Structure 1
């Protein structure tokens, strides 16, 4: 009986037909530093970019001056990475379709942001930005080190400095420090 749970977990992790691997979905891969499958990486990047853009568009409407400045950078930079990812798919470097809408977790975060105003909005937006960029840095680091698509690995590695800078900016924003555009 004590071996049943680990065996079941391994069986689930090995199931390739899932939309997103259990290891990525549960955070086990991140905790263990395991590179995501290419399909998981692409899906998560696309959803993360959509979330960054949509939440930052809301911040430009509802946020304070610091939120709006940060949000402008997020919209520009994540629009760029979205374009680069779409280009790799359209050029045939990646044989998969990009998601066209947020997953339920990210949609719930957008819905929550839509329900907030003023300081409550800013606090949630800033928290989401720190959390999202920590996740993105981990995702890109793991893929850059161990991904199986050479062109995508190179892109992940090239994109990492910008994401790390975004994380620093988000942490500064959340701590009340002035956030620069670069």
Structure 2
């Protein structure tokens, strides 16, 4: 009898252990299944990084379709406005450097001279091809602004320069985006496609730093 009792006890223990192990295995399988479902759900949602990779303009300030634009009723007028815009940025930046701006303002001024000189160089052959004479000086508005800036110095000058660059680049971005929808000229379409992202990156930079 004692041996039978021990045998039954051992069998009961083995059965209980087997059931317990089976329950644990089922619980682990369920947990892995839930975790896998959660992971798939997260992976299926786009992240900010994915959006930026898909959109080359992510992070750049955009044109305002309701904002002010320079004159651009036709292609010749647009080209003249674009050339004026380049000269406005180049000459105001040179003025700021001559007046001794420092830090970010100095760095940005040097970059404006480089980038807007390249923009004019890209526009010139298009204008020549279409017999359009581009202006080589600032417009009247910016000549007056340059006169005001010439009376400033130090942080006042740097603040004015950064704020003016923000306004100018927003207007230029607006103008380019608006004219891109209007023009049928392939050369100008290419010029705007190449230049607008640079203008937008400048705008983002000035918006960020002019508020510091």
Q: 2: CA distance between counterparts of 1:115 and 1:135?
A: 25
Please list the CA deviations of residues 28-69 of structure 1 after superposition, one character each: whole Å capped at 9, or x if unmatched. Answer: x9669x964112211111111001011111222321211010
Q: Does the 8 Å CA contact 1:37/1:148 hold for their aligned counterparts?
A: no
Q: Could you say if the C-alpha distance between residues 31 and 104 of structure 1 is closer, same or farther in structure 2, counting changes exceeding 3 Å?
A: closer
User: For residue 110 of structure 1, what is the aligned residue in structure 2?
Assistant: 146
Normalising by the residue count of structure 2, what TM-score does the alignment of the two structures yield? Answer: 0.63
- 5+ residue gaps in structure 2? 1-65
Moved more, 105-114 or 72-81: 105-114
User: For residue 121 of structure 2, what is the aligned residue in structure 1?
Assistant: 83
Q: 2: CA distance between counterparts of 1:142 and 1:103?
A: 20
SS in 2 for 1:170: helix
- 5+ residue gaps in structure 1? 1-28, 177-182
1:38 and 2:78 are equivalent in the alignment = no
SS in 1 for 2:152: coil
Normalising by the residue count of structure 1, what TM-score does the alignment of the two structures yield? Answer: 0.73
CA RMSD across the alignment: 2.0
User: For residue 69 of structure 1, what is the aligned residue in structure 2?
Assistant: 107
Please list the CA deviations of residues 147-175 of structure 1 after superposition, one character each: whole Å capped at 9, or x if unmatched. Answer: 13221122112211111100001112202
Report the alpha carbon displacement of residue 89 of structure 1 after superposing the two structures with TM: 2.4
Q: 2: CA distance between counterparts of 1:57 and 1:36?
A: 30
User: For residue 165 of structure 2, what is the aligned residue in structure 1?
Assistant: 129
